[in-house]
Amino acid sequence: MSMTTGGGGGYSSDINMTPMIDILLVLLIIFMVIVPVTPKGLDALVPQPPKNPTNNSQPNDRTIVVQVLHVPGGAPQYKINETPINKVELLPRLTEIYANRAERIMFVKGDDDLNFAYVAEVIDIGRAANVDHIGLMTPNILSGQ
């Protein structure tokens, strides 16, 4: 490497940094404008209340709700739309239910006293059964408040 120490009056091969800094500032402004526009957060699916509250006699076959019920001192019990089912049978049954469905939406409802690990297992089983969207239900949704 050689370096000139003034004098010679010849051409210098130093890089002019001013255009590079201008480009950097323009890119910085572009990224500052674009980043706040990108959406952040979780997509939450919440079951909607019935439009006609007097016609509650017909069950909705499209809505699948898996309940995880707390049993004091034992393993939790599982239900699919009020039908009791064993944990071992949960994956094959969900796979069978969602085999021919275009809409693959499932809701999971866990008791308040239940360890969340059991609810997480049901979510994993739902993902294994190729369910696209899994929503969590709260007690207020079930009571209609």
pLDDT recorded at residue 142: 47
In a domain, 136, yes or no: yes
Asked if 132 contacts 89 with a C-beta cutoff of 8 angstroms, the reply is: no
66-88: average pLDDT: 88
The parent domain of residue 135 ranges over 64-143
- The verdict on residue 114 lying in a domain is yes
Q: Can you give the CATH number for the domain in which 94 is found?
A: 3.30.420.270
75 domain-assigned: yes
In the chain, the number of structural domains is: 1
d(CA 65, CA 83): 10
Domain annotation covers residue 51: no
Terminal Cα distance for the chain, rounded: 78
Return the pLDDT at 51: 73
- Domain membership flag for residue 6: no
Q: Is residue 104 part of a domain?
A: yes
User: Does some domain include residue 118?
Assistant: yes
Q: Which residue has the higher pLDDT, 34 or 53?
A: 34
Percent of the chain with pLDDT over 90: 18
Question: Is position 116 within any domain?
Answer: yes
Is residue 7 pLDDT above 70, yes or no?
no
Q: What's the residue count for the chain?
A: 145
Q: Which of 89, 76, 70, 81 is nearest to 129 (CA)?
A: 89
- Helix H or strand E encompassing 123: helix 116-128
**pLDDT single digits (tens) 85-144:** 998 999 999 999 888 888 888 999 988 888 888 889 999 999 998 888 898 887 654 444
